[in-house]
């Protein structure tokens, strides 16, 4: 059995290759994204979904996710092929909002700057062909495509990538999901019942023009080559995600560990690993005799903290889309602009000093506040329809399955 899904990116899609470029939509990138969403659904239902980086699943014993997506000794239960109907490229930008310590690289960085107009991910139109042996599997994959295209498919979804339109009727039914109960549920892996989702309408066109002006003042094509102006008219999105992420990070500026845990970090340079016993950033020391570095905890004073008791990196748990025109593929229809903010907030260790409820309240309060959006873009007119914001916290997963993947 097979189905065709017509996919049209509203913000660029990124499925990078071994050289970190993106010249085509790679099936492995799409499948990896679908698996991530399926794992979150399974865990949100109380089922077993292994951590694929530490999985012990195999041909004889496997979790519900590996049953569908495959593992060592067990083949994936479906096939996915991509056909390019109309391939287009997004431009690469380096952006650095005024108070950001680090720049955001939106795509592949070519130091020469010669190919920047094609290094920012993929736009255009594509057909995904799904082949499966039975209708239930086919329906589950279509459901996952719907969910992931609505909120983020491929890589870089924390930086604005991956919002797409599915331009045909999928005729979805409630997915038939196999559940294996967990003995020791992990609070450190994505669970749909801990997710939140926001749709944020942009209605003030004059403010949108101010945002474009602000963006253009912070665009670069190489580290030393500013792009003082750019015509966004031919694109259906504005590369605004770094501004929104910066504003969200600022909400947690008084708690470095919490900020890094929620927004993601890699321990290099000034940011050191986190001691998992105390939830404090470690201090790097130098052993002059052995010419090696080691880490000390500033709270418990433990010396030479071992690797297994450190968090050296973690991905972002909060994701932000660019502003995009959701009517881009609807013919002669006036543009309607929006952005999305979503993510999952796990139960937080007591050593962090704030609770999951604290984080939820802070995000709820600020994302629906005019002052937040004025500060976010550094403009004097609010672009957001505050009363039109839609949100959901702690998703009812059974309801989500019944509603055909419609979160809001």
Q: Which residues contact 341 (CB under 8 A, 6 or more apart)?
A: 197, 198, 200, 244, 248, 318, 319, 320, 321, 367
Predicted local distance difference test score (pLDDT) of residue 59: 77
Q: Are 296 and 285 in contact (CB under 8 A)?
A: yes
Q: What is the largest CA-CA distance in the chain?
A: 72
Question: What's the CA gap between 219 and 92, in Å, rounded?
Answer: 10
Q: Which residues contact 103 (CB under 8 A, 6 or more apart)?
A: 94, 95, 96, 220, 223
DSSP secondary structure string for all residues of 189-219:
S--GGGEEEEEEEE--HHHHHHHHHHHHTTE
Q: Which residues contact 142 (CB under 8 A, 6 or more apart)?
A: 3, 5, 130, 170, 172
DSSP letter (8 states) at residue 308: G
pLDDT digits (tens, 9 = 90+) for 179-235: 866 655 566 899 999 999 999 999 999 999 999 999 999 999 999 899 878 999 999
* 3-state SS, residue 359: helix
Predicted local distance difference test score (pLDDT) of residue 52: 76
- Positions in the chain short of pLDDT 70: 99, 180-187, 289
Q: Which residues contact 225 (CB under 8 A, 6 or more apart)?
A: 113
Q: Are 57 and 63 in contact (CB under 8 A)?
A: yes
Predicted local distance difference test score (pLDDT) of residue 359: 98
Structure token pair of residue 370 = 């005019």
Q: Are 61 and 76 in contact (CB under 8 A)?
A: no
**What is the CA 116 to chain-centroid distance, rounded?**
23
Predicted local distance difference test score (pLDDT) of residue 180: 65
Q: Are 50 and 189 in contact (CB under 8 A)?
A: no
Predicted local distance difference test score (pLDDT) of residue 398: 96
Candidates 340, 322, 327; CA nearest to 201 is 340
Question: What's the CA gap between 219 and 221, in Å, rounded?
Answer: 7
Q: Are 244 and 376 in contact (CB under 8 A)?
A: yes
Pairing of strands 292-296, 283-287: antiparallel
Predicted local distance difference test score (pLDDT) of residue 126: 98
Name the average pLDDT for the chain: 93
Strand partners of residue 95: 104, 219
Q: What is the pTM of this model?
A: 0.95
Structure token pair of residue 372 = 């937040």
**What is the CA 246 to chain-centroid distance, rounded?**
15
Question: What's the CA gap between 39 and 8, in Å, rounded?
Answer: 25
Question: What's the CA gap between 96 and 109, in Å, rounded?
Answer: 15
pLDDT digits (tens, 9 = 90+) for 122-163: 999 999 999 999 999 999 999 999 999 999 999 999 999 999
Q: Which spans in 58-166 are helix H?
A: 64-69, 135-151
Structure token pair of residue 164 = 């797409």
Length of the chain: 408
């Amino acid at each position: 059995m097979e189905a065709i899904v017509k996919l049209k990116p509203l913000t660029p899609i990124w499925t990078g290759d071994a050289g970190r470029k993106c010249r085509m939509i790679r099936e492995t990138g799409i499948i990896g994204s679908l698996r991530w969403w399926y794992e979150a659904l399974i865990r949100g239902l109380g089922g077993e979904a292994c951590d694929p980086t530490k999985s012990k699943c195999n041909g004889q014993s496997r979790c519900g996710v590996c049953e569908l997506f495959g593992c060592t000794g067990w083949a994936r239960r479906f096939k996915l092929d991509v056909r390019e109907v109309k391939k287009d490229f997004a431009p690469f930008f380096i952006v650095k909002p005024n108070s950001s310590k680090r720049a955001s690289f939106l795509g592949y960085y070519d130091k020469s700057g010669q190919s920047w107009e094609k290094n920012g991910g993929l736009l255009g139109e594509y057909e995904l062909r799904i082949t499966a042996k039975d209708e239930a599997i086919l329906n589950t994959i279509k459901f996952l495509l719907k969910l992931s295209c609505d909120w983020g498919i491929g890589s870089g979804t924390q930086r604005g990538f991956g919002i797409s339109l599915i331009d045909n009727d999928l005729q979805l039914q409630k997915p038939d999901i196999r559940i294996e109960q967990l003995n020791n549920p992990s609070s450190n892996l994505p669970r749909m019942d801990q997710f939140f989702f926001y749709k944020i309408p942009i209605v003030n066109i004059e403010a949108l023009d101010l945002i474009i002006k602000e963006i253009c003042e912070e665009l670069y094509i190489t580290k030393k080559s500013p792009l003082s102006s750019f015509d966004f008219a031919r694109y259906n999105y504005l590369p605004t995600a770094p501004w929104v992420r910066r504003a969200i990070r600022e909400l947690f500026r008084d708690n470095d560990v919490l900020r890094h845990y929620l927004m993601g970090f890699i321990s290099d340079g000034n940011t050191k690993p986190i001691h998992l016993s105390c939830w404090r950033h470690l201090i790097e020391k130098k052993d002059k005799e052995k010419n090696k570095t080691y880490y000390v905890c500033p709270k418990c004073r433990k010396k030479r903290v071992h690797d297994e008791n450190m968090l050296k990196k973690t991905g972002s748990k909060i994701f932000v889309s660019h502003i995009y025109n959701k009517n881009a593929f609807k013919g002669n229809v006036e543009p309607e602009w929006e952005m999305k903010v979503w993510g999952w907030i796990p139960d937080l260790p007591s050593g962090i000093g704030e609770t999951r409820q604290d984080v939820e309240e802070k995000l709820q309060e600020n994302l629906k506040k005019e002052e937040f959006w004025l500060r976010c873009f550094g403009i004097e007119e609010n672009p957001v329809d505050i009363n039109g914001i839609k949100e959901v916290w702690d998703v009812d997963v059974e309801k989500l399955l019944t509603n055909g993947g419609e979160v809001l």
